[in-house]
Amino acid sequence: MVKIIKKIACSALLTGAAGIFYMQSAFALLPIEHWTQPSGAEVWLVRSPAIPMVDVQVDFDAGSRRDPAAQAGLASAAALMSAKGVQAEGGMPALDENQLGEAWADLGASLDAGAGRDALSFSLRSLTKPELLDRAVQLAARQIAQPSYPQAVWQRERARWQAAIAEADTKPGTVAGKAFAKAVYGSHPYGQQTTAQTLNAIETADLRAWHTRYLQRCRARVAVVGAVSRAQAQGLVDGLLARLPAGDAQRCAAPPALPPLQPLSKAQELDIPFQSAQAHVLIGQPGFVRSDPDFLALLVGDHILGGGGFASLLTEEVREKRGLSYSVFSEFTPGLSAGAFVAGLQTRPDQAAEAIQVTRAVIADFVKNGPTEAQLRAAKDNLIGGFALRIDSNRKLLGNVVNIARNGLPLDYLEHWTDRVEALTVADVKAAMQRKLQPDRMVTVVVGAKPAGKP
């Protein structure tokens, strides 16, 4: 039976791979359907029949922003351990991590789990052959609802994680990133950092309690992209969530809102000594929530400023004109809470002061004066011309649907994306950047620069 399933999976995957070459950029025109299941789970569906596959992402409001400060890493630990075994139930035997991996390999399917800032996510990919999909959904349902959280495996994984943290802390980039997050986010949950100590505070009992608290059918948000009908999607979602508790009114209520991220009151510079060949520099401040109506104007503005690679203003001024850094960038990282704006570069320690001065000057000038018409036109052409690459596979399209679901964006968001970008004016971009950025109140983190006046 296993050999037959593997043969079916291999044949269908080859067919799907061939179909990729004929996929059109008209993905944005595919309608997004949205409804609420009787269980309370919300579903977003895009029917994409070109390939006999389906991609599903199940989100719960249980990302790292929900971690207790003393147990930072709890959500990520739960995601990690979900693949380390499932409990026995209903005549089905328990599966350890090796057996679970073999079961997924036999189906030619996969279930990945991860915890970001705003959500814990389970991502299922399977062929839509009924004999494969039904079994994949059943296995995924067990893994989502009935992880075994084996103590010995958690101890092993925790030790590996702690070793990885210790190794990362020897790198200047990690030191800079942690210092920047602490300065920008303060006590906000977005700034919480997983350490050896917070991992030591997590036991398997905590993982089980976390699972009971957050994983309810009524709290699931499910995005589905693939060759399935609405009726099939409804059955698929019911199957995936079937083993989770239904939840009562109290458990299904939305978790409490987080306090807003506070703006910085003044500029701050952190110079951190570090023996390294390159100085690492991060400059930034709190940003904005993803649902902010200024998002597209800020996306275009950042593309011009530092997010557009070699065509950006920061690259031109810092790298091309002065040779102060091989690469320099800027980006916004919005989420359900305000993320950060950050500009970053690496440079020779003795050039750090000049590189910082130039970077700050470029940011301040762009915020004050905005882009030129030529810069705006070039950014629009690049972003609109590359839009098809954002949705040229089921998995990429799924990511966009998840973005719409998570941030409360309109169902026609993708359909009108290029029109909205095209409609932006110089005044729109300038006003949005001025509303969000305060160049005179940014944090500057410098790791590994030579102190002024020292050889």
pLDDT digits (tens, 9 = 90+) for 216-265: 999 999 999 999 999 999 999 999 999 999 977 777 888 889 999 999 99
Three-class DSSP category at 121: strand
Largest CA distance in the chain: 74
Q: Is there a contact between 341 and 180 (Cβ–Cβ < 8 Å)?
A: no
Flag whether pLDDT at 66 surpasses 60. yes
DSSP 428: H
Domain boundaries, the chain: 9-13+24-252, 268-447
Q: Give the residue-averaged pLDDT of 139-157.
A: 98
User: Given this model, what pLDDT does residue 38 score?
Assistant: 94
Encode burial over 114-136: b for 16+ CB neighbours within 10 A, e otherwise: ebbbbbbbbbbbbbbbeebbebb
Alpha-carbon distance 172 to 169, whole Å? 8
User: Given this model, what pLDDT does residue 93 score?
Assistant: 96
Q: Give the residue-averaged pLDDT of 344-365.
A: 97
Alpha-carbon distance 296 to 334, whole Å? 12
What share of the chain has pLDDT > 70, as a percent? Answer: 92
Class of the CATH-defined domain 9-13+24-252: alpha beta
**What is the H or E stretch that residue 132 is in?**
helix 130-145
Q: Give the residue-averaged pLDDT of 281-291.
A: 98
How many CA atoms lie less than 13 Å away from 321 in the CB half-sphere? 13
Alpha-carbon distance 158 to 200, whole Å? 8
Alpha-carbon distance 301 to 212, whole Å? 43
Length of the chain: 455
Of 5-14, 101-110, 265-274, 289-298, the one with minimum mean pLDDT is: 5-14
The residue type at 65: R
Q: What is the CA radius of gyration of the chain?
A: 24
User: Given this model, what pLDDT does residue 154 score?
Assistant: 98
In this structure, what token pair is assigned to residue 175? 């030191």
- Domain 268-447 fold is Cytochrome Bc1 Complex; Chain A, domain 1 (3.30.830)
Q: Report which of 417, 415, 419, 437 is spatially closest to residue 365, judged by C-alpha positions.
A: 437
User: Given this model, what pLDDT does residue 30 score?
Assistant: 81
Q: Give the residue-averaged pLDDT of 139-150.
A: 98
Question: 449 falls in which pLDDT band (50, 70, 90)?
Answer: confident
Taken in order 189, 431, 307, 180, the sign of the CA dihedral is negative
Q: Is there a contact between 306 and 319 (Cβ–Cβ < 8 Å)?
A: no
Q: Is there a contact between 157 and 207 (Cβ–Cβ < 8 Å)?
A: no
Mean pLDDT of the chain: 92
Q: Is there a contact between 363 and 283 (Cβ–Cβ < 8 Å)?
A: yes
Alpha-carbon distance 170 to 275, whole Å? 10
Find which of 8-17, 364-373, 387-396 is predicted with most confidence, using mean pLDDT.
Answer: 364-373
User: Given this model, what pLDDT does residue 29 score?
Assistant: 60
Q: Give the residue-averaged pLDDT of 72-91.
A: 96
User: Given this model, what pLDDT does residue 22 score?
Assistant: 35
Q: What is the dihedral of CA 147, 148, 149, 152, to 10 degrees?
A: -150
The pTM is what?
0.91
User: Given this model, what pLDDT does residue 90 score?
Assistant: 85
Q: What's the distance, Cα to Cα, between the start and end of the chain in Å?
A: 72
User: Given this model, what pLDDT does residue 324 score?
Assistant: 97
User: Given this model, what pLDDT does residue 6 score?
Assistant: 45
Alpha-carbon distance 264 to 183, whole Å? 9
- Cβ–Cβ contacts within 10 Å for residue 455, how many? 4
Q: Is there a contact between 404 and 397 (Cβ–Cβ < 8 Å)?
A: no
Residues contacting residue 44 through CB under 8 Å, at least 6 positions apart: 32, 33, 34, 221, 222, 223, 224, 401, 402, 404, 405, 411
